[in-house]
Chain A
Amino acid sequence: MEPATKTETLDIEGMTCASCASAVEKSLSRAPGVQSAMVNFATEKATVHYLPGQASPATLKEAVVNAGYSVMERAPDTSAAERSDEIDRQKALAYQKLKRRFWVAAGLALIIMPLSMLMLWPALMARVNMPLLNYALLLLTLPVLAYSGREFYVSAWNGFKHRSANMDTLIAVGTGAAFLYSLAATVVPDFFTSRGLMPEVYYDTTATIIALILLGKVLELRAKTQTSAAMRSLIGLQAKTARVVRPDGQEVDVPIAQVQLGDIVLVRPGEKVATDGRITAGQSAVDEAMLTGESLPVEKKTGDPVFGATLNKTGSFRFEVTKVGADTMLSQIVKLVEDAQGSRAPIQRLADKVSAIFVPTVVVIAILTFVLWFDLAPADTRLPLALVNFVAVLIIACPCALGLATPTAIMVSTGKGAEHGVLIRNAEALEKAYQVNTVLLDKTGTITKGEPAVTDFLAPGQDGPRLLQLVAALERQSEHPLAEAVVRHADAQGSSSLTATGFRAVEGKGAAATVEGQAVLIGNRRLLSDAGIDLSPELTAQAEELLGQAKTVLYVAVAGQAVALLGVADTVRDTSVAAIKELQALGIEVVMMTGDNPQTAAQVAGQVGITRYFAEVLPADKAGKVKELQAEGRIVAMVGDGINDAPALAQADIGLAIGSGTDVAMEAAGITLMRSDLHGVVTAIELSRQTIRTIKQNLFFAFVYNSLGIPVAAGLLYPFFGILLSPMLAAAAMALSSVSVLTNSLRLRSFNNH
């Protein structure tokens, strides 16, 4: 393994030519600790990979300055945020332009249509000079082609050069054929009449198709910007400035980009927290809904972490900046959502395969349609019929609906998920969550608060306070949540601290150490029995009683004697019962897993309405339990919060890391729930079900649309029912098809989970 490198992007100023770029690159590459540097002249950006120990953004900047250029100050910000402005501006421009092109086409088509229909009134027709009318129509159609439809032809040609064909190819060939035929009929009508054909023109078809397709594109573009609305609002949460308290006590508002690690930032009531940090003074309630979906403000005091983009409610506080730019929680959420939106859902595979060969296949079908009509239709009408059906096939085929079916739904739902504090790693996770029929919950920290408290301390015939001191000394060295509860309890009792030596944690059992020369053991019953220590009948009875109350019992032995019991209870979260009921209502079996003994497990399970549970599961066996359920043919979602859940989260078909989940758990999880309660699991599963349902509808629609539309346009119904599809109707259907798919995906925006 190479040592971990960091990547830094610098905005270089003052580069006037490509050789300047290589000068900067050379200077950066030679700087100590730099592994690689590349400078892009076009974007004026340098991307540097460096070893954090040997180089820093400051030394990199120095290297650039040495080369004679300067670095523009910028936030090491989320790539999405920095790009979004420019892209939004361009998109708005493109939208304006598209609308203008549509209006030109629509306006002209509205004139061309009635003019072309004059032939419906033979009396009128007799007075009109046909060739002259055709020339007039030609003049009106030209701007539609050359201005409104220009992009189709350019794009089709560019695509053709690349041996690729897209939607534009179909439209260009279709309208192009109709136009060229009409042009011939206008310019050399004698050629047609001499062969017994009417020199018919299709200018109305050409113009209307272009107008309708452009209408579809306008609607599509408008809908598409809405698919990423959630993402944009996430990026928009970022604070613009921070009130930094300088060492001399002066308060200065600085742009967020210039905030450094270790800066002290002041936050007043009603203000946004600028970036991530830890409170150094003051306390307040902070609204973290934008990150976690949790609606109630969270109490914060000195030492508690705060997150950028959250809203300070009641008090003022100062915090020390611990993370800036791309490392902040907000940026990571944005990054995660962005990644998820770029991922591919397995369900899309077929659509992908089809769209790869779609357009050329349609072109071939259109050509064959032309040939068949020409060969089979009566001689006097065969050319117009062949042409009309050829154009209709090309125009009705809509690869866009296939292409848009999955990604738009994924975009809307991942954004929506983030709004609810449900972070979806990728499209595959969403698809897995949809299939889940069993949810395995790790009891501690998910069903319960995961913050156990000592409720009983029983030391019959012993010096209680003294014993508590010994136990607390040992537990202070442990990182186990139960140990923390014991320490909290001891602190609350005002025990003074002693020193423990030779601390040893026994995984899944407890811990041991020497305090004041005495061997102290604390842990579950197995720890004591492994050490060959028996319980007195009195302690056994008391233990049974505590266990009966669904408390976890910690057994204490000093100098080889079992001397005391601690009853520890972990309270069930208020929301757990309701959430579990909702999961069951969704038809999902909820199974609980815990390291606790069977009594405790049964008690908690009964309390929350779970019928199946695994008790006394060692951390190392958690993944095994997941496997066991999977072996029963279940699709298992594992919900957990801790490091020792990581293997189980990874083993499960879909892992959900809950609450302030550790980074390791988040790595292993397909879905991360920002809020610490089980409602997030319900939200995730409901969201996935709605999303996949939407995708299936979209794909079904797209496949059915194309597989019905193309044969009908080819004239398959004509021999039986005499039905032919006008190319103009085909254009309307095509324009509507991709808009329908998009609109269906956008319905997910109304997803609301209580």
Chain B
Amino acid sequence: MDTSQIIVTIVGLGLAAFVVWYFFFSARQTASAVSSSSGVQEVDITVKGGYSPDIIEVERGKPVQLSFYRDEENSCSEELLMPDFSIRRDLPAFKTTLVELLPEKAGTFTFTCGMGMLRGSLVVK
């Protein structure tokens, strides 16, 4: 093994480890819902190559209103799926789409884009 091979091996393995850590183990952005005066839990979510915030905490038994603002035209994010609530929505680009639901059970429910690539989760407490 020559020097460049050793360098490539070390850098490559390091990069692979970084990818694993970055996508699977690093801490994520969490947001709790804000209850409006009317008792509805509201959360604004920006859709741009992902959902920010992508972990949303809400309370059980209170209506939840998620406002998805799709800040891109990339077709990846054009659909929103929340299978646990039987919701499939088209998100028009640069528009806000409201999704209303009533979480009745506690748990973690994922929501994804149409192809399951972009992910977020709704944590019901």
Contacts and interface: CB of A to CB of B under 8 A. Distances in A.
- Chain A complexes with chain B: yes
Interface in A307-325: none
B63 to A, nearest CB: 7
B92 A94 contact: no
B90 interface: yes
A653 interface: no
Interface string A15-27: 0000000000110
Given A367-B19, A399-B115, A162 B75 contact: no
A356 B90 CA distance: 21
A656 B9 CA distance: 60
Contact of A360 (B8, B20, B54): B20
Given A36-B38, A90-B93, A400-B115, A158 B72 contact: yes
Interface string B71-100: 011111010011111111110110110101
Nearest to A86: B92
A43 B23 CA distance: 34
A83 interface: yes
B42 interface: yes
A189 B89 CA distance: 51
Given A154-B72, A371-B13, A426-B86, A162 B50 contact: yes
Looking at chain A's contact residues, the main secondary structure is helix
A43 B98 contact: yes
A38 B117 contact: no
A58 to B, nearest CB: 20
A161 B49 contact: yes
A31 to B, nearest CB: 11
Contacts of A83: 90
Contacts of B88: 338, 341-342
Contacts of A400: 115
Nearest to B36: A38
Interface residues of B, number: 62
A166 B67 contact: no
Contacts of B125: none
Interface in B1-30: 1-2, 4-5, 8-9, 12-13, 15-16, 19-20, 22-24, 26, 28
Given A342-B83, A367-B19, A403-B116, A151 B74 contact: yes
Contacts of A87: 90, 92
A359 B51 CA distance: 17
Contact of A42 (B4, B15, B49, B69): B69
A159 B50 contact: yes
A43 B96 contact: yes
A161 B72 CA distance: 14
A105 interface: no
Interface residues of A toward B: which range? 35 or more
A42 B81 contact: no
Contacts of A403: 114-117
A29 B36 CA distance: 11
A364 B75 contact: no
Contact of A38 (B24, B42, B48, B87): B42
A374 B92 CA distance: 45
Contacts of A360: 19-20, 22-24
Contacts of A86: 92, 95
A36 B81 contact: no
B60 interface: no
Interface string A329-367: 000000000111111100000011001110110011001
B40 A367 contact: no
Contacts, number: 179
A403 B118 CA distance: 11
A626 B26 CA distance: 50
A690 interface: no
B19 A407 contact: no
A368 B67 contact: no
Interface string A75-99: 0000000010011001100100110
Interface in B89-125: 89-90, 92-93, 95-96, 98, 100, 112, 114-119
A155 interface: yes
A364 B81 contact: no
Nearest to B82: A342
B65 interface: yes
Nearest to A344: B83
Interface in A78-130: 83, 86-87, 90-91, 94, 97-98
Contact of A151 (B73, B85, B115): B73
B98 A25 contact: no
B52 interface: yes
A475 interface: no
B82 A364 contact: no
Give the one of A98, A221, A343, A352 with max B CB within 10 A. Answer: A343
A591 to B, nearest CB: 31
Contact of B16 (A25, A43, A168, A368): A368
A200 B10 CA distance: 25
B74 to A, nearest CB: 4
B93 to A, nearest CB: 6
A37 interface: yes
Contact of A371 (B9, B28, B87, B117): B9
Contacts of A168: 74, 76
Contacts of A157: 49
B118 A29 contact: no
A657 interface: no
A102 to B, nearest CB: 13
A374 B8 contact: yes
A402 B9 contact: no
Contacts of A363: 16, 19
A356 B119 contact: yes
Interface in A483-529: none
A364 B117 contact: no
A158 B117 CA distance: 13
A163 B26 contact: yes
B84 to A, nearest CB: 8
A163 B22 contact: yes
Given A37-B38, A360-B19, A370-B12, A164 B115 contact: no
Nearest to A738: B115
B86 A343 contact: yes
Contacts of B117: 164-167, 355, 359, 399, 403
A327 B9 CA distance: 65
A678 interface: no
A294 to B, nearest CB: 27
Interface string A403-435: 110010000000000000000001000000000
Nearest to A156: B49
Given A341-B88, A360-B20, A368 B12 contact: yes
A35 B67 CA distance: 21
B115 A355 contact: yes
A217 interface: yes
A375 interface: yes
A159 B51 CA distance: 9
A437 interface: no
A355 B113 CA distance: 12
Interface in B50-65: 50-52, 54, 63, 65
Contacts of B9: 371, 374-375
A94 B15 contact: no
Contact of A167 (B28, B63, B72, B76): B76
Given A29-B38, A162-B54, 20 more contacts: A25-B36, A25-B37, A36-B39, A36-B40, A38-B36, A38-B65, A40-B67, A49-B63, A154-B74, A159-B118, A164-B119, A165-B117, A168-B76, A342-B86, A344-B81, A352-B116, A356-B116, A374-B4, A374-B9, A404-B115
16 contacts: A29-B38, A38-B42, A40-B98, A42-B95, A42-B96, A43-B96, A90-B92, A154-B74, A155-B72, A156-B49, A164-B50, A339-B86, A339-B87, A342-B89, A351-B116, A379-B2
5 closest Cβ pairs, A-B complex: A158-B49, A162-B50, A342-B88, A344-B83, A403-B115
